[in-house]
Homo-oligomer: A and B are copies of this chain.
Amino acid sequence: MKKDIFLGLIGFGTIGTGIVRLLQENEEIIKKRLGARLVIKKIVDIDIETSRGITVGRDILTTDPQEILDDPEISIVIELIGGYEHAKHFILDAMAKGKHVVTANKALLATFGEEIFTVADERQVNIGFEASVGGTIPIIKTVRESLVGNNIRSIFGIMNGTSNFILSKMTDDNKSFETVLKEAQELGFAEADPTYDIEGIDTAHKLALTLALSYGKRVNMEDIYIEGISDTSLQDIEFAKELGYKIKLLAIAVQHQDLIEARIHPTMLPFDHILTNVNGNYNAFHFIGDASGSVFLYGQGAGMMPTASAVVSDLVDTARDMMKGVWRRVPLRSFPEKNIDDIRLLPMDDVVTNYYFRFSAYDRPGILSKISGILGNYNISIAAVIQKGRKQDGIVPVVMTTHPSREKDVQQALKEIDALDVVGGKTVLIRIEDNRLQ
């Protein structure tokens, strides 16, 4: 049995530092469990001068990735530089040299997964990516191994900590999106350019990966319907409360015969659902399997040490394969690569759900009858109505929720309603999940 397993780390930022720290601090217990030592032999970064607050031998630091790629003793490469071009290059290069790869790069895998997973299969190497979805929460392992006997009926997830932090703060502290975003940036919970997080793109990367693992399907990220949270207003959060809901940025996937419904948008959830109470920068995933029923997992979706914990679980998994002289007991995407085919998504037009509308109505007689008339024409049945609040520039908010309705009907009805001369602005639409969550 080989007693030392040599690792190369590309990218010595926050997560990279966390991994080195974890392998140092918990060296004994990891060695005791694994029966071998995980040894970082080289670390590559463009900055090898700045101290990371941990002790690392000067001789293992380098700016040249070839020192890792060309070292035959290094059997696992940890890619943590993020982004597309360089990361992809290093991963393909490492695999070409027969090295296993562990990465947290969801953007890369969601975008270039097809190429990367195919090469990994040809080269008979492993790619660990537990940290890429749900951070420290064992999402990849649960879908790929624990739910292996199930048809996965649905997936509901709060997959982005930044958005969840912002929405939780807006809800609890009654502050605007802009104010809270600024606070989040100051606290380090949001990037200087927060687009990926707040516009749902990061969530889409994670949903795409989860779909691939759940259904053995290639997902074209462009096909997933995405709405971010930058338009979510305090006013709608207030009305939601009044109706018994909180607003969360939810990733939703539902299995329909041969089609998969997949969408990401701000969603109203009833107070008493388990996902509603996931606050701050936590992530949570709710799966329903046809045999398992509800399986709910919750934890830190990002952060130095939680992410390092997931990376180390991948390292140990790969090391265990190596120590037994096998590779990839578990298919990378749950299904052997030859069994993976293209996904067919349910067109957004055909989605059926409940809706919340906030109309901007001029305070004139007959407005309710006009709006509800149009909704009726499109078979949209009203569940609740609230009309209250101060008039601003002659306009009052009229809020309605609906029974299950078809997206296409809703979009057409809103188009007609917004063209009415008694309506003074674009109607706000937020989807509600009442039914399918338990």
Contact = CB atoms under 8 A, between A and B. Distances in A.
A329 B327 CA distance: 11
Nearest to A32: B339
A292 B320 contact: no
Which residue of A145, A306, A330, A335 has the most chain B CB atoms within 10 A of its CB atom? A145
Interface string A283-314: 00000011111111111100101101110110
Contacts of A145: 138, 141, 313, 316-317
Which residue of A35, A148, A325 has the most chain B CB atoms within 10 A of its CB atom? A148
B296 A298 contact: yes
A292 B299 contact: yes
Contacts of A274: 277, 298
A290 B28 CA distance: 14
Interface string A121-138: 000000000100000111
Interface residues of A, number: 65
Interface in A314-334: 315-317, 320-321, 323-326, 329-331, 334
A26 interface: yes
A216 interface: yes
A150 interface: yes
A293 B136 contact: yes
| Number of copies of this kind of chain in the complex | 2
A297 B136 CA distance: 12
A398 B292 CA distance: 45
Contact of A329 (B18, B33, B321): B321
A325 B339 CA distance: 22
Contacts of A293: 136, 299-300, 303, 305-306
Nearest to A135: B292
Contacts of A35: 331, 336
A216 to B, nearest CB: 7
B331 A324 contact: no
A335 B22 contact: no
Contact of A30 (B149, B296, B324): B149
A374 interface: no
Nearest to A149: B312
B309 A26 contact: no
Interface of A: 18, 22-23, 25-26, 29-30, 32-35, 130, 136-138, 141-142, 145-151, 216, 272, 274, 277, 282, 289-300, 303, 305-306, 308-310, 312-313, 315-317, 320-321, 323-326, 329-331, 334-336, 339
Given A32-B335, A141-B142, 20 more contacts: A26-B150, A33-B331, A33-B335, A136-B293, A138-B141, A138-B146, A141-B146, A145-B313, A148-B313, A149-B308, A149-B309, A150-B309, A290-B305, A291-B305, A292-B306, A293-B303, A293-B305, A297-B298, A320-B329, A321-B329
